[in-house]
Structure 1
Amino acid sequence: MGRLAGQTVFITGASAGIGASCARHFAEEHCNLVLTARRLERLEELRAELLAQYPEIQVHVVALDVTKRADVFAVVDALPEAFKNVDVLVNNAGLSLGLDHLLDVSEESVNIMFDTNVKGLLNVTQAIVPAMKQRGKGHIINIGSVAGKQAYAGGSIYCATKHAVEAMSQALTQELVNTPLRVTLVAPGLVQTEFSVVRFHGNQDKADSVYKGLDPLTGDDIAEVVVFAASRPPHVQINDILVYPTQQASVFHIHRN
């Protein structure tokens, strides 16, 4: 058994992609899981898969839209007793919509991205972390992006939200420095998940073109990094991780075969 065995991990956006991969990798470490996302059916399928493979763990699933602040607090308040003490929070829920230039991006897209990526992360953090602080134990892992470090044309609003996630992570690290709590930002480069399908409103061909000619990261690659950060000894805080596929060197430098 490793350091994480028996700990409770709360994951947002757990129905697919990086979130689902994190659930599988934490389950492998014998963690108990709270899995949240808007698609409850997907979560229930994942729960059945994990319990069949790891019958010794406990898994609680609940439909949750992180943009709805009252719902976030209600879900956290209503956690079953066995799941109330969250040891690791993985703020994974996030999205991008389109590649419109700043002058053309719609108000609706702006609101959805900020409400999900920034305010949603804030909602969940404020609902869970005070109890961590009171117990003197906890780890907050925020899934950022290379877009939070480098802006690019067509990504102004998404990049702004991920810059905000980076700023919030840095500030939270400083605000919790006098506690045993740890904060980690994981910023992936190109990861092939449903991310691009959502960005291009379900256009699979357009989404696939993003990863054409290279071997992109997978959700499992990022989940392994997340679990590694979470499993360090209590005195070790891996604060900021930038993860690229080997054929990427920045937002602007990508080698395609």
Structure 2
Amino acid sequence: MADPKRKTVLITGASSGLGAEMARQLAALGHDLALCARRIEKLDALKGEIAAAHPERRVEVRTLDVNDDEEVFEVFRGFKKDFGTIDRVIINAGIGKGAPLGTGRWDANKETAMTNFVAALAQSEAAMEIFREQDAGHFVMISSMSAMRGMPKTMTTYAATKAGVAHIAEGLRNELYGKPIKVTVLYPGYISSEMNERVDPKKAKGMVSTEKGVRSMVAAIEKEVDSACVPPLPWAPMSLVMKHAPLGVLKKII
């Protein structure tokens, strides 16, 4: 008899950082995995690692460039065909590029907007296509604490995209309220990952290890909460400060 707690979880951006660690922790909790990212060699290595630690888990991997709209739908549909059912989709793929507006780096800001918002919208379409057909599923959007308020300089475009994807998830939750499809949006704070490895530690107060940060993320995902700042401390109370503090006060703490 199938384990009712065992889910098939599709994770984008799963080759490193938060995505790879979510895969490890979700496999340890008993879930099967559909993992996709651009770097297939890293996915293959992760698959081998998980197979060695949890041989009873099923892990399938596919190459995916989330900026290729057709490939997004092809990969999601392919995983659905592989497993028969996709119980949870975690939209995690993203980049951290950006520059102050008007400084000649339109290319970096456009790339951030296309990858973090437009590509996330495509992934949302592909996920919801599956969930509507099944009339069941768990949609998880990885946003950021930077979505709480407009951010300055190199963070301006990035924060705007993260606010945008949070609203995609919140809009779906509004639409699907009371129905079998659940929606979660997570707002991670400073969690060590490949994306922020160049961040000055002095400007990243409260940064936690990838393993610890993802443990908070996975706990919230497993509970299927509507939304959560992760880790809860200090980020849940900090979210109120970020949203409501006078700008002069906010500028001193970010």
Q: TM-score range by the shorter chain?
A: 0.7 to 0.9
TM-score calculated relative to the size of structure 1: 0.84
CA deviations on 1:28-56 (whole Å, 9 max, x unpaired) are 01111011111111111000000001000
**What corresponds to 1:243 in structure 2?**
230
Gaps of 5+ in 2: 243-249
Q: Which residue of 2 aligns with 1:218?
A: 209
- What does residue 22 of structure 2 align with? 22
SS at match of 2:79: coil
Q: Which amino acid aligns with 1:20?
A: A
Q: More displaced, 239-248 or 43-52?
A: 239-248
- Name the CA distance, whole Å, in 2 between partners of 1:105 and 1:176: 42
* Cα distance change of structure 1 residues 87 and 215 upon mapping to structure 2, 3 Å threshold: same
What amino acid does structure 2 have at the position aligned with 1:112?
Answer: E
- Work out whether residues 87 and 138 of structure 2, in 8 Å CA contact, stay in contact via their aligned partners in 1: yes
Partner Cα separation in structure 1 for residue 193 and residue 213 of structure 2: 11
Moved more, 88-97 or 76-85: 76-85
* Distance verdict in 2 for CA 1:4–1:166, change over 3 Å: farther
Change (3 A) 1:88 1:211: farther
Query: 211, 224, 228: which one pairs with 2:219?
Result: 228
Q: Could you tell me whether the CA contact under 8 Å between 1:190 and 1:211 is conserved in 2?
A: no
> Which stretch shifts more, 163-172 or 71-80?
71-80
Q: Could you report, residue by residue, the CA deviation over 1:201-247 in whole angstroms, capped at 9, with x for unpaired residues? A: xxxxxx15235784512332343233323333xxxx51111125856
Letter of the structure 2 residue corresponding to residue 127 of structure 1:
A
Q: 1:61 is paired with a residue of what secondary structure?
A: strand
Q: Which amino acid aligns with 1:221?
A: K
Is the Cα–Cα contact under 8 Å of residues 4 and 29 in structure 1 kept in the other structure? no
The answer to whether the Cα contact below 8 Å between 1:196 and 1:210 also exists between their aligned partners in 2 is no
Contact 2:12 2:90 in 1 (8 A): yes
Alignment of 1:1-257 (within 5 A): 5-79=5-79, 81-98=81-98, 100-104=99-103, 106-154=105-153, 155-197=155-197, 207-210=198-201, 214-232=205-223, 237-244=224-231, 246=233, 249=238, 252=250
Higher relative contact order (CA 8 A, sep 6+): 1
Q: Return closer, same or farther for 1:183/1:105 CA change in 2, 3 Å cut-off.
A: farther
User: Greater helix share, 1 or 2?
Assistant: 2
* Contact 1:65-1:71 at 8 Å conserved across structures: yes
Cα offset, 1:135, TM superposition: 1.7
Assess if the C-alpha contact under 8 Å between 1:36 and 1:64 holds in 2: yes
Contact 1:47 1:59 (8 Å CA) reproduced: yes
Residues 51, 57 of structure 1: 8 Å contact kept:
yes
* Contact 1:32 1:58 survives alignment (8 Å): yes
RMSD: 2.4
Alpha carbons 1:216, 1:245 under 8 Å: kept: no
Shift of 1:195: 1.2
TM-score scaled by length of structure 2: 0.85
- The Cα offsets for residues 76-108 of structure 1, whole Å up to 9 and x where unpaired, read as 22237442411011111111214x222225221
Structure 1 residue ranges, 4+ long, deviating more than 3 angstroms after superposition: 210-215, 244-255
For 1:76 and 1:84, the matched residues in 2 are separated by: 12
SS at 1:21 equivalent:
helix
State the alpha-carbon separation in 2 of the partners of residues 183 and 80 from structure 1.
19
How many residues are paired up? 239
The structure-2 alpha-carbon separation of the partners of 1:79 and 1:247, relative to structure 1 and needing over 3 Å to count, comes to: closer
